[in-house]
Structure 1
Amino acid sequence: MKTPQPRYRCPLGRLQANQKPDPEAVKKQGWKEQHILVISPEDERLDWYEQQLLRNIGDRLYGEEGGQRG
């Protein structure tokens, strides 16, 4: 009879949070603490003008969508 080998469990594992952080909460905290804004142009909370503005800023800073970036 084969018995499974016990896996080594790191003692630090129990200190890790079991839940993944809420992405919206992380974005909110980043904005409030460091003034970093993370937003998708496809975000449904934005109207067409705001989505286009984000695309224009992204294209200006990082190049055209779908093109070579970097």
Structure 2
Amino acid sequence: MSYFPKGYGGHRRDPERVKRDGWREQGVLAVSADDDRLTWPERELVRQIGEKLYGPRVSEREARRG
């Protein structure tokens, strides 16, 4: 098959490009709380926002129990 419908086959964007395009086009931010490009206060802010919106991460719940 030499023809691929849009979204099937062909060139795939790398994950960073998808995140960048999502932010620029739709205002959606996807960031890891462990991203080394962020300073500690920035990573902490991301963690706090994530917990406020979605609750604690599974690894943090387990650490708090034991």
Fold match by TM threshold 0.5: yes
Which runs of at least 4 in structure 1 moved beyond 6 Å after TM superposition? none
1:28 aligns with 2:27: no
TM-score between the two structures when normalised by the length of structure 1: 0.68
In the TM superposition, 1:1-70 aligns within 5 A as: 11=1, 14-15=3-4, 16-66=8-58, 67=61
CA deviation string 1:10-63 (max 9, x = no partner): x4x741333432111111110011000000010110010000000000011111
Following the alignment from structure 1 to structure 2, what is the Cα–Cα distance between the partners of residues 51 and 24? 18
**Identical positions, percent:** 41
- Amino acid across the alignment from 1:37: L
Structure 2, gaps ≥5 residues long:
62-66
Structure 1, gaps ≥5 residues long:
1-10
Larger Rg: 1
How many correspondences in the alignment?
56
Give the RMSD, CA atoms, in angstroms.
Answer: 1.7
